[in-house]
Amino acid sequence: SGGFYALGWAKGINEVVAVIVTSGTAVANLLPAAVEAAQAQVPLLLLTADRPAELRDTGANQTIHQPGIFGCYTRWAKDFPAPSCEYSLMALLGDIDLAVAHSKGQLNFHPGPVHLNFCFRENLAPDGGPVRGAPGKSSQWDKAYVDFRAMHRWASSPEPRSRYIRPEAKLPEGPVLEELVA
């Protein structure tokens, strides 16, 4: 499966590897690879597509309860809302950086899988346009939303948008520590 391919690749290059799947049972098929990655501390990003939250528990096509599907086998997970200009692009980039940091073990010394569940109102299509059954909604991005200086700086840089300081396993010794302990 795609999950085990990504797991093997991540082990081989010793870096975070992403696996992308559609919604429904395709997500459930990633569970064995997620368990292996968690047990072996292999960094893996599980990127899943989903229907929007309002279609959950309605019997809609390709909807199972995806948030939390991997349980304790992920280092971090986030359920993203359907794309809209109301969800800041910079917040999205920050969340993606945070996911990579968790997957690499930069925040807790335990690399492993991270689940990012992305909701979409429309199927992925080459062109934006009106959303079926949702008058006034569009899948077209507002140009002002994605065309600004910080976005261009991020897109042209090899650096992540956010940096995380790894917690120290051992506190440095010295007079400050001795005073705190006393």
Say what the pLDDT of residue 124 is. 61
pLDDT of residue 110: 94
DSSP 42-73: --EEEEEEE--GGGTTTT-TT----TTTTGGG
Structure tokens at 56: 């959950």
**10-residue stretch averages of pLDDT, the chain, 182 residues long:** 95 96 92 98 96 83 88 97 81 92 92 95 68 70 75 84 71 72 71
Tokens representing 33? Answer: 């690879």
Q: What is the pTM of this model?
A: 0.82
pLDDT of res. 34: 98
Contact predicate 52/62, CB 8 Å: no
d(CA 10, CA 103): 11
> What's residue 170's pLDDT?
63
Residue 133 is predicted with a pLDDT of 67
Q: Which pLDDT belongs to residue 126?
A: 58
Question: What pLDDT score was predicted for residue 125?
Answer: 61
The predicted pLDDT at position 181 comes to: 73
